[in-house]
Structure 1
C-alpha cells in the first residue's frame, strides 16, 4: 500500500526512531531487507511474548518468526526485550529458548497484586447470583464495576438483564461501532454509568483509579 511504502521510505531516510509492527510483517522480505548493516536496530520489544509459545492459550504462528535466529543473526539485533503477563512455566521456558535469553536476564513479579482480592464461586444460576452480588456489600456501594464475559452476545444479554433490574449498565465489545465504544468508555470514566459488561476488548489502557469490582 502507499502507506507501507511511504513508511519504508522514511525508515531508509532515518526519519523514524520508533516503529510499531505486527509479527506478520517479518514474513515480508522487502521489509526485512531494509534492516541489517544499512539500518541497524538498537532494540526490539516483543509485547504479548507468550504468543511465541505453542503452549500458549492464544498462540500465533507468525510469532515463531520472532526467534533469535532471525532477530540476532539475520537482522543483527543484540538487544531484545520480551514482555508478557500471562505466561505459564512451560510457556516462559519456550520464550527464553526461542529468543536465547540468559536466565540471569529474567525478571518476574507476582501476578497477584496486593490491592487485588480474588475469589471463585460455583453457580447454578449466574444471572441471579450476579444480581445478588451487585446488590450486596461490598459491591452495592461500589461506583465502578466491570463484568467480563467471554462472548459479545453474552455481554449484550447480561447488560439487558441488569438494566431490566434497575442497574445502570452498558455493554462493550469490539462488535460495536468505535463511536459507541468511545461513548461507553466516556460515560464510565465520568461515573455516569456504574457497570460495564464487556469482553476483554475493554480495559486496555483504561485510566480509572476507582474501579473497585
Structure 2
C-alpha cells in the first residue's frame, strides 16, 4: 500500500523480482535522482516504523509514512539550498579542520537535538579546558516547538549563562550550527568556530 500511495509502485514493480544486488543498481540507473532519494527515505521510514512496532511504540499509518517522507525530503532540500546560500555569502574564511585550543583557554561546545512534533528540544553544553578535561556539562529538555537555529541559540545562551554563573570565563565557543556562526553579529566574535 505504501508503494502505491507514494507513486513508486510502477517504478519498482518491473525490477522487483531481481535479487537485491541487481534490484538497487537497476532502479538507480532507470530513475531520476530525486525519485531514488524518495525511495531510500521511504525504505528507511518503513524500517523505522517496523522497529517502532517491535519495541511497542507508535507506528505510523501508510499515508502518514508517505507524507512524512515527502516532508522530510523537502525539508532536507530546502535546508541544503539555504546552507548553500549561507556558505556562498560567507566572506570570512574559516578553518575546516578541528584544532585543539590554546592551553589556558576554556572552550564551550553546545548542541541541540530537535525531534519535530515531540514538543521538546534537547539542549546541552560541555566546557573543557586546554587539556580537554570537562569542567562543566549540562543537558536539559526544554518544552516547546522551536526552529533549529532558535534551539541552537538557546543551548548556547544557557551554556554561557551557566559557565558565567559558575565563575568560568569562556574563551572559545564551538557549535555545528552554521546559521549561528553566520548571524550578522557573529563577525564581531572571532572566537566562534564551526
TM-score, length basis structure 1: 0.27
Structure having the higher strand fraction is: 2
Structure having the higher helix fraction is: 2
TM-score, length basis structure 2: 0.28
